[in-house]
Structure 1
Amino acid sequence: MLLGAIADDLTGASDLALMLSREGMKTVQTVGIPPAGFDAGAADAVVVSLKSRTIPAAEAVEQSLAAAEWLLATGARQLFFKYCSTFDSTPVGNIGPVTEALLGRLGAGLTLACPAFPTNRRTVYLGYLFVGDELLSESPMKDHPLTPMRDPSLVRVLQAQTTLPVGLVAHERVRRGADAVAAAFSQAERAGQRIVIVDAIDDTDLRAIGTAARDMALVTGGSGIAIGLPENFRRAGLLAAAAPSARMVAPPGRAVILAGSCSAATRKQVATAVASGTAALRIDPLAVASGSLGVEEVAAFAETATGGPPLIYASADPAEVAAVQEKLGREHAGALVEGLMAGVACRLAERGFTRFLVAGGETSGAVVQALGVEGFAIGPEIDPGVPWMLSLGAGRPLALALKSGNFGAPDIFAKAWDLLA
């Protein structure tokens, strides 16, 4: 193995695994820290997906360090800490604490932080994160139910989470290319900085940053920054030339869409599917809490639905989400939906469903854990950052697409299945 990655949620891990696979690395994604005897085969990169984005910082650090130990013991030459392209975090972490802990474990002097993913319209300029044409603080992320992001300055956000000095490599340096970026890294380290936010507004910037990071023991960022890392191993003679990706052979069986995300992108995808005539059932957390709606009722809806893959969704606008959280509590409301979706997935898998498209990081984590999946082989790309994957370690093979709430075109729920025809 060449590159070992630690991702703070499941959909983000899939996004990263797809990026590395597209750049020619044989990539395996695991669900949690692999069990004893797990065989990654001839993988060039392994992405360990955790569910650590919103847990207490100390727990996130502990899990991330344990993942790092496994990756290093398996032979990783460089570590990558992957978080969301919208820098999702709370005021106290977990991006800063985990980065600080990994730097300490590796004995490394400097790392970079770059969540930019221009293909999905996440860019960083002068240290400020933009979502499309809007600052992060003016985008729908300001109303995220778990990690509302109301400060677009990544230097400020990250500095509040770590005791390590945080600096900035501005776009004026990045646009000059890899050598200029590498010189900026050396200058920052001499100045005593330990983490530098790096501007990036297009893929050319990301490739330059990746090249400049060839000697870093630790790289951190969104999946976009990984676009430039495989070529470093290729230049060193450690990685073969990229080959065309093979078409994934999906298991036969029925299909279903499970959407737990309340992001603006997922709400639009749900609305598009409903308007097109997709059979859809909306999950009301209050009904789940009262016991009037449960796994059997929801599974029965999916089994009897006709036409294309049915849609089961809990997506709602911020006002509705806030009202439910006020009555049930934020964590309890989320747990009810995740538990229901996980139970429904298991029941449907027992009854011949083998193809699952899941929207939302928390929902994806709950579903995959319940299905007993240990890892994935990466398949074709549906939309930027969203691949189909074939399960490992779940008994009967399953095809899964785990979509970050913020990713995907409005018609993703319809077009995804064409890749499995």
Structure 2
Amino acid sequence: MKNRIQRVEEAIKYLPHVRSFGVIGNPGCEGLGTYNMKVYAGALEESGQADMTLIVGDLVPTGTKAYYETICGITETIGKNDVYVLRGNHDTGEYQKYFGRQNYALICNGFAIVVLDNAMRCFEEEGLLLVKKVLALEEVRQAVLAFHIPVPNHFIQNAVSEEEFSKLQASYGPWKEKVAYLLCGHVHSCFVDQVDGIPFICTGGGGAMIEDVSESIRACDVNHHMIHFFMEGEKLCYQFTDIPEACYAGERKNPVIKERLEETVKGELMAHLKYLMFADRARRRGMDKIANLFEALADSEYRHARNFYSVMERPAAFSESVETFIPGEVFEYEHIYKTMADYAKGENAPLTRQAYEGALAAEKVHARLLKEAGDMESFQIDSVYVCPICGYLMTGDGVKERCPVCGGPARQFKEFKD
């Protein structure tokens, strides 16, 4: 099988078949957990439509063999085209062993890409000399200068110094008209700017969680994404492509894997519940250290369940997600819970009946609140209370002295407040 990851040995490599490339930023700097890697897998699949892929840094959280082997294994299995890598500030240690040169150029059909290492917040002399050499080539009419950490711009302060940028400017200065784009990663978001009269594109949405980076660039306004670059006539163009939360369906199509994942999720969630219940018992007995341990164990089991579930999950787009939960809540209280409460009554099982009737009352409230939350922008409920005895849910204006279902005292209600 052909290797997807390209280990670059020569300073200039000719790729006459390449007229398009995908760009993925920051897939692994926050860790290589399944939840993050699902986004990266989706980005690899989307980028597979291009002739090659360029990852603009932070492939791993830190440059050790174990992390490089993990990310390379995922890339080789899921990648659809040749993958080139640019060194980020997290890509330390054995980077050269896996990916080769830190400064190199790809001469493609209609454009060039010059990869520059500025992972240490400075441009290396080797890279700056390479910029001059490539831009001086008569065959190169337009080029992308790609690096990890941004140059000074109008949006964020997290950038190399003006002095370092001046070195880059000096290297491309005589051929500035050939520089079509400046391209970087590092920031867990995206923006487009003009720097020194050149379009400057920052992308960091290939796996790491999206973050607020400024007042004008908020996490809630940015999705995970990658970028397609492509030739349109004689001009190199680009477009951002969002990576949906339902991306990468490959493994959930295997019926055996899907069944085992479902069983594993149930097991992890059952362990999560058991540990939380024991933590409650320990807390009531004043054994706080034991309670802390079991709460931590419960959280760990939840994280496991989330990872397994993320492989098989196919969520709707976030803006449409709230309403997708309503039918399940309605079906539970109108059919399942009512039927089971009636059956338990006939079987002289009062505790089972009580549990189902209590849950039925809560599910009605769940469905009502979900309908209100369907319009997320106008949803105004600030405080929600849960009775820890039976799980009944109340909003701020509906809180009583005691839970209306089980009679639990208000002083024990758990508050969820904005």
Same fold? TM cut 0.5: no
Q: Which has the higher contact order (CA 8 A, sep 6+)?
A: 1
Q: Give the TM-score normalised by structure 1.
A: 0.30
Q: Give the TM-score normalised by structure 2.
A: 0.30
Answer with 1 or 2: which has the greater Rg.
Answer: 2
